A and B are shown apart, each in its own frame.
Chain A
Amino acid sequence: MKKLMLLVPIVIVMSLLLSACGAGSQQPPATEEVAAETKKSGSIVYSFPADAVQTIMRPEQLEVFAAANPEIEVELLAVPEEGYDEKNISMIAAGDKLDVFGSGDVFVAPFIENGIAYKLTDLIANDPGFKIEDFAPAILDYFKDSKGDIYMLPGAYDVQRIYYNKNLFDAAGIAYPEDDWTWDEFKSIAEALTKGDGVEKEFGFLADTPWYVFMPYVWANGGNLWSEDGTKCVLNQKEAVEALDWYADFMRKGYSPSPSQLSGMGMSVGDMFTTGKVAMVSSGGWDIPYFNEITSFEWGQVALPAGPNGRATTLHLAMNLISAKTQDPELAWEWLRFIASSDMYKYEALKYGQGVPPRMSTTEEILAKPPADADPQSLRNFEIGLQSAEFGRTLPKIVNFSEIMDNIVGPNMDLFWNGEFATAQEVADLICSQMVPQPLSH
């Protein structure tokens, strides 16, 4: 009896230890090469954020892929959006099997710098059928290092554009904006469409304050946040400061709520538009499904207005990449090239209508021969998206992007938009004195 009693805790301990060891060890995928053609076979793991589109789309894509490649097994990992990138990084750090995964523009520089991404240059060079030249150069360049080696492939991209409430324009007798409208026209329209007071107030434009909403105005005036080579802060230079003051004017003059006022209202940016509290709002194509539910008024989309130095907008880039720790890069390439193919981009664009295909010919095809049941707002989205591939941009790559935005730029700009600094020059000087951008070392 005593011996049996001894056994129980030992069994518990052993099972605890064994369960800790068991999870995470995987077999390398078996690959066999068939004589004439290199028929790849094996298994790979692909992880993606479980957003509304991909949760449904990726399994659908897998069905098509599996039918054409029955010898390749792809395991899909739908990871919740909150903590998505942390999960991937932890998996890689722990040595778990992860061959291909998606991520966002914030991680391009850190992944390249820290050797997380597998260099795709050779895989692409050995695959002429992939047609890499079809990708918009401005977008593809973002995923290259300074030597021109490419590390990731873009996913569908999004751009900032202005949504406007047609009914409010009609009521005020103002013509709808055209894609080539200017800053001055923009400001005067916003002024004309602002009316009322207190809780009933209607704003002409919701000047939102994430960097990707106000930076286009800095770019359109010839300025930037930091230099193209990512080595120094240039926000305190004349062009940027002018643009920031110009944008802050919307809030100072009351054409737009300030961030405090907006958070005080408890409504999201999208809500402010759908409830008719703002006549114009800047956002990405991701709001189209939400705005398509609006029944109380008609709305349209227009590209951002041209500033003194030309047109600019923010490109929201996402990408898929092969992990540097993958055991079979060529097998992983089969899946990556599939989800980055013209057919798949077209499928995503037509079915979900938000992201713009990064292959220019695909977008041109869709616009040239749209399907009969295509949502006109989606087509307009693609139109603006295709234009924006010319003049759209994002912040130059730096490795410590998150740190600088969270701790220096974000809160200080917040204070500025809420009126805590008298001029943009003050906040820009402060930001530049504290910021130390870290460019890619290669």
Chain B
Amino acid sequence: MRRTPIKYVLIFLVPSLIGFLLFNIIPILSSFGLAFSEWNLMTPIRFAGLNNFKVMFFQDPIFWPSLGRTLKYTSLSIPLGIVTSLVLALAMNRPLKGISIFRVIYFIPYVSSMIAVSMMWKWLYNDQFGLINTFLSYLGLPAQNWLTSARMVIPSLVLMDVWKNAGFGMLIYLTALQGIPEQLYEAAKVDGANSFDSFFKITLPLLGPAHFYMLVTGLIGAFQVFDSVYTMTRGGPGFASRVYAYNLYQAAFREFRMGYASAMAWFLFLIIFVVTLLQFKKLGGKVQYDVI
């Protein structure tokens, strides 16, 4: 078989590579340079060494708390998200008639715009007129201050995030579930296993690769939470939902501190990189990709 000459390969790749270079590589490199500079768009870029990081770590009173809030958000959204996706996938993994309609229904929120979903949920969460509080009142339960209480605001944001993204996780787990051979379950039944046993001893471990994927991508996404906060609470009430990415956005586009915002972005990248690396090192080896 004749191999395509390398020059044709390159020619067809070049337009896409140029786009990648212009809109991804160059901005990333520029932002790295900006992380060590000061720039407010109005005056020329000024080299500032490690000053941005010094301010970030030691002088900015809102920096570390915002990282804490992002961690709090992540620690809630990852477990809840994974469990919800798994439960949905198990429920959808049946050869019932019309099951594909349900799969589509659960997947639709994932393809909707986060901004549109946020605006809708902002109304659902409304203290006085929102559907959720109205529904609670029918059940005789007290209304909650979903977005207006410092205690509830992050869990509320997590709940909406899980609702929106569960469909995608369901898809991942569904595919993985269908890759588990039936013989294993049959063999287990022969050995006297009940459904509890077969779930925890067969299903769950063999979903290892899916768990790993959900964990890695979930963490990467959760650390960057922004859209829902910007649309629903603007960081409020007070500082309660001032997450890391929100401060980054404010610094860049409200305060025109491009250098500082770039430094924040690169620190976030560092955190996510280290976390992902740790996951690969500690958990990657334990995941089984081949079943038999």
Q: A: which residues have CB within 8 A of B?
A: 5-6, 9-10, 12-13, 16-17, 20, 83, 86, 89-90, 92-93, 110-111, 114-116, 199, 259-261, 263-266, 400, 402-403, 406-408, 411-412, 414-415, 418, 420, 434
Instruction: Decide if A260 touches B149 in the complex (CB within 8 Å).
Output: yes
Looking at the assembled complex, report how far the CB atom of A84 sits from the nearest CB atom of chain B, in whole angstroms. 12
Contact A260 B145 (CB under 8 A): yes
Overall SS of chain B's interface: loop
Contact residue among B15, B42, B239, B242 (Cβ-Cβ distance under 8 Å from A89): B42
- C-alpha gap A142/B40 in the complex (Å): 22
Question: What CA separation (Å) do A12 and B18 show in the bound complex?
Answer: 11
Interface on B for A, CB 8 Å cutoff? Answer: 8, 11-12, 14-15, 18-19, 22, 40-43, 61-62, 123, 126-130, 145, 147-150, 235-239, 242, 247, 250-251, 253-257
| Chain A contacts for B11, CB-based, 8 A | 6, 9-10
Bound-complex Cα distance A400 to B12 (A): 49
Decide: A411 near B42, CB < 8 A? Known: A264-B148, A403-B257.
no
Inside 8 A of A261's CB, which chain B residues have their CB?
127, 148
Q: A115-B43, A263-B148, A264-B127 are in contact. Are A89 and B256 (CB under 8 A)?
A: yes
Determine the main DSSP class of A at the interface with B. Answer: helix
* Known contacts A265-B127, A400-B255, A403-B257, A259 near B237 by CB under 8 Å: yes
Complex-state Cα separation, A407 to B66, whole angstroms: 11
Q: Which residues of chain A come closer than 8 Å to B61, judged between CB atoms?
A: 407-408, 434
Contact present for B254 and A406 (CB under 8 Å)? yes
Q: Is the CB of A90 within 8 A of B41?
A: yes
Do B238 and A92 have beta carbons less than 8 Å apart? Answer: no
17 A-B pairs with CB atoms under 8 Å apart are: A9-B14, A9-B15, A17-B18, A83-B253, A90-B41, A92-B41, A261-B127, A264-B127, A265-B129, A403-B254, A403-B257, A406-B250, A406-B254, A412-B238, A415-B239, A418-B237, A420-B238
Q: Which residues of B contact A89 (CB under 8 A)?
A: 41-42, 256
A263 to B241, CA, bound (A): 15
Give the chain B neighbours of A111 by CB distance below 8 A: 42
The 3 tightest CB contacts between A and B, nearest first, are A264-B127, A114-B42, A415-B238
B127 lies within 8 A of A116 (CB): no
Does B237 lie within 8 Å of A13, measured CB to CB?
Answer: no
List the A side residues contacting B127 at CB < 8 Å. 261, 264-266
Determine the distance from Cα of A334 to Cα of B14 in the docked complex, in whole angstroms. Answer: 50
Instruction: Indicate if the CB atoms of A93 and B238 lie closer than 8 Å.
Output: no
Q: How far is the CB of B111 from chain A (nearest CB, A)?
A: 25
Given A411-B238, A414-B236, A418-B237: A264 touches B126 (CB 8 Å cut-off): yes
CA distance A111 to B256 in the complex (A): 12
Q: State which of B123, B128, B256 has its C-beta within 8 Å of the C-beta of A264.
A: B128
Instruction: Please determine whether A414 and B128 come into contact, CB atoms closer than 8 angstroms.
Output: no
A403 contacts B255, CB within 8 Å? yes
Contact B42 A266 (CB under 8 A): no
The answer, among B15, B126, B237, for a CB contact under 8 Å with A415, is B237
